[in-house]
Chain A
């Protein structure tokens, strides 16, 4: 990615005494790779897990889902009246 070129055709940072344009430091690159891996893992889990988690879970749909109670009790010890 390059910045805008001034009217005189020179690029900032290439004149005498100017510092060279910086590249992203190593730690930023490593962090970027880690984030990309985590995002891919989350997407893979969502797809492989049958879409049990995702943005659709954050909304009013879930209220209906919860209130229906149609998911079945996985732990009988915790089911039933209080």
Chain B
């Protein structure tokens, strides 16, 4: 179902805001890794790990889910479609992949905060969380570039749909 122009514009605004917000929230999470890994003050290290948890739960996760949901709505409600163009399919795949890894990684983030919040716990057991956060950021830069440049390329499904539309246009 195609969205009317006003709704389409509004949904595009929400999608861009949530996608950029996701990147920003990951940036904040990465920034917290800096004192967590480099500070020699145990209080600062504990505070950094403790703050990673709410940033992940209330910053990264809502933005990720909003970006994924609005992206699906945006593609289904416009002529782009969800599976017709390679750039949309790849963006969807990478976004689903990043969101899945994020949700699976949340227990590990919780456990880091639990350790950091325990005064008797050994902080040396914590080794930061740069792998997932920087990796996630790099993965999400691909959909960002694809969404801006929208490189050409129809999938086989998109090509078949295009042929069907042309045939029905000829018949009509």
Interface of A: prevailing SS: loop
* CB-based contact A22/B125 at 8 Å: no
- Closest chain A residue to B124, Cβ basis: A73
Partner of A19, one of B119, B120, B159: B159
Partner of B111, one of A27, A63, A70, A78: A63
> Hey, which chain B residues are within 8 Å of A57, CB to CB?
108
* CB-based contact B114/A22 at 8 Å: no
Asked whether A22 and B120 contact (CB < 8 A) given A62-B108, A78-B42, the answer is no
Is A8 part of the binding interface, using a Cβ–Cβ cutoff of 8 Å?
Answer: no
Asked whether A27 and B160 contact (CB < 8 A) given A63-B107, A67-B114, the answer is no
Partner of A74, one of B40, B42, B108, B124: B124
Mark B91-110 against chain A: 1 for CB-CB distance below 8 A, else 0.
00000000001001101101
Kindly provide the distance from the CB of B158 to the nearest chain A CB, expressed in whole angstroms. Answer: 9
* CB-based contact B163/A13 at 8 Å: yes
Asked whether A62 and B121 contact (CB < 8 A) given A24-B153, A28-B90, the answer is no
Interface of B: prevailing SS: helix
* CB-based contact B86/A71 at 8 Å: no
Interface size of A in residues (CB-CB distance below 8 Å): 37
Kindly provide the distance from the CB of A27 to the nearest chain B CB, expressed in whole angstroms. Answer: 5
Mark A46-69 against chain B: 1 for CB-CB distance below 8 A, else 0.
000000010101111011001101
* CB-based contact A58/B121 at 8 Å: no
- Most B CB contacts (10 A, CB to CB) among A28, A57, A81, A82 go to A82
Kindly provide the distance from the CB of A74 to the nearest chain B CB, expressed in whole angstroms. Answer: 5
Mark B34-63 against chain A: 1 for CB-CB distance below 8 A, else 0.
000001101101100000000000000000
Interface positions of B (Cβ within 8 A of A): 39-40, 42-43, 45-46, 86, 90, 101, 104-105, 107-108, 110-112, 114-115, 119-127, 131, 142, 151-154, 156, 159-160, 162-163, 166
